[in-house]
Structure 1
Amino acid sequence: MNLIQWEDFQRVELRVGTILRAWPNAKAIKPAYVLEIDLGELGIKTSSAQVTAHYTTEELPGRQVLCVCNFPPKRIAGVRSEVLVTGVYDDAGRVVLASFDKPLPNGARLA
């Protein structure tokens, strides 16, 4: 494990967002959804996320997720992905979204 300094962690903008809409990313080679996420003061951002194994497009809206907000935008399978939605791989290599057990304001920063 590489140790980092506190200042390194502080540079990463990890913020809470609420998924507003989700739809299949038809151009993705690996199954993925396009997510529209409300990040409060940062606005509404899009992300392409490979989370199709555990989630449907119907159950994602309203779900709060943790996003890395200060990566530069990246074009992924035709989608301008503006934030990285975080998660962890389960034993089968499928992404489980990082989420919260209590409602939080959109845009709240991980402390």
Structure 2
Amino acid sequence: MHTIEWQDFERVELRVGTLLSARLNEKANKPAYVLEVDLGELGVKTSSAQLTAHYTAEQLLGRQVLCVCNFAPKHVAGVRSEVLVTGVYDSDNRVVLASFDHPLPNGARLA
């Protein structure tokens, strides 16, 4: 593992967002959802995420997640992905979302 300086970490915009919608991305090679994420003052952003193993689209609605907001937009399976919704792979290589146990304001930055 490489160490980084605190200033490197401060450059990453990790913010809280609420999932407003989730629909299957029919163009994805691996099952994925197209997500709309409310990031408060940053607006509503789109993301593509491989979350279908643990979550139905209905289970995602209203869930608060941690997003990387300052990556350049990227085209993923026909979707302009503007933020990275974060998660961790479980022992079966399926994504489990990074989330919160108390409600937070949309757009709040990780401290």
> What TM-score, normalized by structure 1, do the two folds share?
0.99
**What do the CA deviations read for 1:49-69 (whole angstroms, capped 9, x no partner)?**
001000000110100000000
User: 2:37 maps to what in 1?
Assistant: 37
In structure 1, how many angstroms separate the alpha carbons of the residues matched to 2:57 and 2:48? 13
Aligned length: 111
* Partner amino acid, structure 2, of 1:41: E
User: 2:59 maps to what in 1?
Assistant: 59
User: 1:50 maps to what in 2?
Assistant: 50
User: 1:92 maps to what in 2?
Assistant: 92
What 5-or-longer segments of structure 2 have no aligned partner?
none
**What do the CA deviations read for 1:15-41 (whole angstroms, capped 9, x no partner)?**
000000000000000000000000000
What 5-or-longer segments of structure 1 have no aligned partner?
none
Q: 1:80: how far off?
A: 0.3
In structure 2, how many angstroms separate the alpha carbons of the residues matched to 1:58 and 1:104? 20
Q: Which runs of 4+ in 1 moved over 3 A?
A: none
In structure 1, how many angstroms separate the alpha carbons of the residues matched to 2:57 and 2:95? 15
SS in 1 for 2:10: helix
CA RMSD of aligned residues (A): 0.3
In structure 1, how many angstroms separate the alpha carbons of the residues matched to 2:17 and 2:61? 11
Q: 1:72: how far off?
A: 0.4
In structure 2, how many angstroms separate the alpha carbons of the residues matched to 1:55 and 1:35? 12
SS in 1 for 2:51: coil
> What TM-score, normalized by structure 2, do the two folds share?
0.99
Q: Pairwise mapping of residues 66-81 of structure 1 onto structure 2 (< 5 A)? A: 66-81=66-81
